[in-house]
Chains A and B, each alone.
Chain A
Amino acid sequence: MTDVKDYLREWAMPHVLCPGCAHGIVLRSFLEAVDQLQLDQDKVALVAGIGCSSRLAGYVDFCTLHGTHGRAPAFATGLKLARPELDVVVITGDGDGLAIGGNHLIHAARRNIDITVMLLNNAIYGMTGGQAAPTTPEGARSSTTPAGNTEAMFDACKLLIGAGASFVARVLAATPTEMTKVMKDAMTHPGFSFVEVISDCPEYYGRYNKLGGGAEMLTLMARRDSGVASALSEKRFINHVPSSPTPAGIDTGVFQREVRPVFAGIREVDAGGS
């Protein structure tokens, strides 16, 4: 394989990510997926919104668009429709993709446009300093939920299945080989594909909820995946908020894979009727 460094803009570094942040592991898995699929580097477009995960777009040597907060799927839609031969991948976060950009995400899924969305879920707003996100579990502390979050959280995969996404999967940053495999499946899927990656934010989420640093958080994540313990979910609940026996977000794997007509915009083939 090609060295993943060949896909990096090393001249654009140092990067903005904090020590212990798993986003770098996710990026490597993505680059390995691109490499293993032998995609034409000139034809890969990475479209991002705003937030920590979206900043990754600046460090990879593709055509990269760092757009506005939450709107990456909409930018990607125009890009893909105008130039269908591009491999268009959206990189977004849980706040970007599910709060301010939730509407664009579900409509891209509904249309079944042939793009891939990678949503890096670290359960918090990292870039702005650790505020609660729509993915922050009930009871968890953040800078805007100092006494514990009292709002219910989104299950991103269920949301996307409900919106009509034809490929939906969840993977853990703690399992990079699996991540690469699922990302390859997603990128080769005809139509809209969605991969939720459970990442971490030791700097804010980990610190506020006493979950340790990056290594500890990834260990917890991996144990959660194997079903050994629910230490992470237990630790999150600090204000006697009742815990669900199966906290949302714990399952991984491919939840949805179906083939249905791919949206290509209204263009000649539709209008001519021939």
Chain B
Amino acid sequence: MSETQLLQGNEACARGALAAGCSFYGGYPITPSSEIAEYMVRELPKVGGVFIQMEDEISSLAAVIGASLAGSKAMTATSGPGFSLMQEHIGFASMAEVPCVIVDVMRGGPSTGLPTSPSQGDVMQARWGTHGDHPAIVLAPSSVGEVFDLTVRAFNLSERFRTPVILIYDEIIGHTRESVILPDVVETVNRKPPDVDPAAFWPKEAPSDGVPPLPAFGDGYRFHVTGLSHDHRGLPSDDAAVAGSLLARLHHKVEHHLDEVRQVEASMLEDAEIAILAYGVVARSAREAVILAREDGIRAGLIRPVTLWPFPHPQVAELTRGVDTVIVSEMNRGQIIGEVERATAGRAHVVPHLRADGQPITPNELLGTVRSVVGRST
């Protein structure tokens, strides 16, 4: 019954959020993400949701966390400078285990940088931007349709693991209009409610999967939420054993379920001697470059991590087993390439093809690198 629609990436993100059950949006205007807010303010009220434009990105994510604790599925969207400001509360949401979705539509940086140009410069910030050791789930769509799918998935993972989930894509994906067919119904996941009475409830008492149930404020469960290190009662504690086991659980709840989180797409790799590894919009140029290379008789293939963090090291190691060279292409000065080097561990040559000047990486540029790697002139 679904029909083909012409949608922009940022619209697809908002549509995905609504499909996932998002009922709260708090944000601050910033190019190139603002269309998400503009769509949400029109559509959220129609489904009983609430929209607020906050005074900055710090407060945007704070409001999102507040709304999530009140039982809403909540999100915000931003770009580099705002993403920097959100790091404080990404850490809080990790520590306090508050589900929320943060969308970062990447533009050129550092600082205000190139507001209307694409970039993939925030990949490491998405992983390590907030202080302290913390888990991170970061998804990177490479098409308008996939923005929809992964927005739904981001909400589901955040509810499943009680953790912030970051959706990261560049300005091109955000502003490109593509024909997509959206599903009528999507699978949604809701956070687990407690299965005990309020009198027997401790907010950070986790079952075997490491994810504690989360009631909403106002549901009769009175509990404490804090960004300080805390025990199973939710109370601040600087006891080393308490701090150590909390941090371990925050990591383990994701690490012990990596099959649910990590996603990698591979194509044309069966006989490949050379692979291009790329994500986001660059993966589309890479796919074209692989096709052009094969027309030249070069056995090339494509590896596209859909989940950037936790980085799929084992999958990349397996997929690169038969190749001599992996060209890693990203619109930055080299961020995910280090992870590829860790995954390949010297078993393949890892060659960078990077660009960080606000311009997209074209198929022909990449084809040139493929040819030079295999020793053919262009």
Query: Which of A57, A67, A79 touches B67 (beta carbons < 8 Å)?
Result: A79
A-contacting residues, B228-251, CB 8 Å: 228, 233, 235-236
Query: Which of B45, B74, B222, B227 touches A78 (beta carbons < 8 Å)?
Result: B74
Q: Is the CB of A83 within 8 A of B70?
A: yes
B72 to chain A: which residues have CB within 8 Å? 82
Please report the C-alpha to C-alpha distance between residue A245 and residue B286 in the assembled complex, in whole angstroms.
74
Known contacts A75-B63, A78-B62, A83 near B50 by CB under 8 Å: no
Known contacts A61-B222, A68-B89, A266 near B66 by CB under 8 Å: no
- The answer to the question of A107 belonging to the interface, with a C-beta cut-off of 8 Å to chain B, is yes
A237 to chain B, nearest CB (A): 36
- The answer to the question of B223 belonging to the interface, with a C-beta cut-off of 8 Å to chain A, is yes
Q: Which of the listed residues B42, B55, B66, B226 has the most CB atoms from chain A within 10 Å of its own CB?
A: B66
Q: Is the CB of A266 within 8 A of B71?
A: no
Interface 0/1 of A87-103, CB less than 8 Å to B: 00000000000000001
Q: Is the CB of B222 within 8 A of A81?
A: no
Interface 0/1 of A247-274, CB less than 8 Å to B: 0000000000000000011111011100
Known contacts A58-B235, A71-B59, A268-B46, A79 near B228 by CB under 8 Å: no
Query: Which of B48, B54, B222, B228 touches A62 (beta carbons < 8 Å)?
Result: B222
List 20 interface pairs A-B (beta carbons < 8 Å), by A numbering. A9-B224, A47-B66, A61-B222, A63-B221, A63-B222, A67-B92, A73-B59, A74-B58, A75-B65, A77-B66, A78-B62, A78-B67, A81-B52, A82-B50, A82-B67, A83-B217, A104-B59, A265-B52, A266-B50, A267-B44
Please report the C-alpha to C-alpha distance between residue A79 and residue B26 in the assembled complex, in whole angstroms.
11
A-contacting residues, B76-114, CB 8 Å: 88-89, 92
- The answer to the question of A4 belonging to the interface, with a C-beta cut-off of 8 Å to chain B, is no
Q: Is the CB of A74 within 8 A of B59?
A: yes
Q: Is the CB of B62 within 8 A of A66?
A: no
Known contacts A58-B236, A81-B24, A266-B51, A42 near B70 by CB under 8 Å: no
B224 to chain A: which residues have CB within 8 Å? 9, 12, 57-58, 64-66
Identify the A interface with B (CB < 8 A).
Answer: 9, 11-12, 41-43, 45, 47, 57-58, 61-68, 71, 73-83, 85-86, 103-104, 107, 264-268, 270-272
- The answer to the question of B331 belonging to the interface, with a C-beta cut-off of 8 Å to chain A, is no
Q: Is the CB of B66 within 8 A of A103?
A: no
Known contacts A66-B227, A71-B62, A107-B55, A79 near B217 by CB under 8 Å: yes
A265 to chain B: which residues have CB within 8 Å? 50-52
A73 to chain B: which residues have CB within 8 Å? 59
**Which B-chain residue is minimally distant from A47 (CB atoms)?**
B66
Known contacts A63-B217, A83-B71, A103 near B56 by CB under 8 Å: yes
Please report the C-alpha to C-alpha distance between residue A81 and residue B67 in the assembled complex, in whole angstroms.
7
Q: Is the CB of A66 within 8 A of B66?
A: no
**Which A-chain residue is minimally distant from B236 (CB atoms)?**
A58
Main secondary structure, interface of B, reads mixed
Which range holds the interface residue count of chain B? 35 or more
**Ranked 8 nearest A-B pairs via Cβ:** A78-B66, A78-B63, A74-B59, A271-B45, A74-B62, A82-B70, A82-B67, A79-B66
A42 to chain B: which residues have CB within 8 Å? 218-220, 222
Q: Is the CB of B225 within 8 A of A64?
A: yes
Q: Is the CB of B217 within 8 A of A86?
A: yes
Q: Is the CB of A78 within 8 A of B26?
A: yes
B272 to chain A, nearest CB (A): 48
**Which A-chain residue is minimally distant from B224 (CB atoms)?**
A64
Please report the C-alpha to C-alpha distance between residue A76 and residue B26 in the assembled complex, in whole angstroms.
13
Known contacts A71-B59, A74-B54, A103-B55, A85 near B218 by CB under 8 Å: yes
Known contacts A66-B226, A71-B62, A77-B63, A82 near B54 by CB under 8 Å: no
B46 to chain A: which residues have CB within 8 Å? 268, 271
B59 to chain A: which residues have CB within 8 Å? 71, 73-74, 77, 103-104, 107
A194 to chain B, nearest CB (A): 17
Q: Is the CB of B218 within 8 A of A86?
A: yes
**Which B-chain residue is minimally distant from A107 (CB atoms)?**
B55
A107 to chain B: which residues have CB within 8 Å? 54-55, 59
Please report the C-alpha to C-alpha distance between residue A43 and residue B233 in the assembled complex, in whole angstroms.
20
Please report the C-alpha to C-alpha distance between residue A83 and residue B220 in the assembled complex, in whole angstroms.
13
A45 to chain B: which residues have CB within 8 Å? 217-218
Q: Is the CB of A271 within 8 A of B235?
A: no
Q: Is the CB of B218 within 8 A of A83?
A: yes
Known contacts A68-B92, A267-B45, A74 near B63 by CB under 8 Å: yes
Q: Is the CB of A66 within 8 A of B225?
A: yes
Please report the C-alpha to C-alpha distance between residue A82 and residue B49 in the assembled complex, in whole angstroms.
8
A83 to chain B: which residues have CB within 8 Å? 70-71, 216-218
A235 to chain B, nearest CB (A): 35
Please report the C-alpha to C-alpha distance between residue A168 and residue B233 in the assembled complex, in whole angstroms.
36
A58 to chain B, nearest CB (A): 6
Q: Is the CB of A82 within 8 A of B66?
A: yes
Please report the C-alpha to C-alpha distance between residue A5 and residue B183 in the assembled complex, in whole angstroms.
54
- The answer to the question of B23 belonging to the interface, with a C-beta cut-off of 8 Å to chain A, is yes
- The answer to the question of B336 belonging to the interface, with a C-beta cut-off of 8 Å to chain A, is no
Please report the C-alpha to C-alpha distance between residue A57 and residue B225 in the assembled complex, in whole angstroms.
10
B55 to chain A: which residues have CB within 8 Å? 74, 103-104, 107
A62 to chain B: which residues have CB within 8 Å? 222
Please report the C-alpha to C-alpha distance between residue A43 and residue B68 in the assembled complex, in whole angstroms.
16
Please report the C-alpha to C-alpha distance between residue A260 and residue B46 in the assembled complex, in whole angstroms.
26
Q: Is the CB of B62 within 8 A of A266?
A: no
Interface 0/1 of B10-47, CB less than 8 Å to A: 00000000000001101000000000000001101110
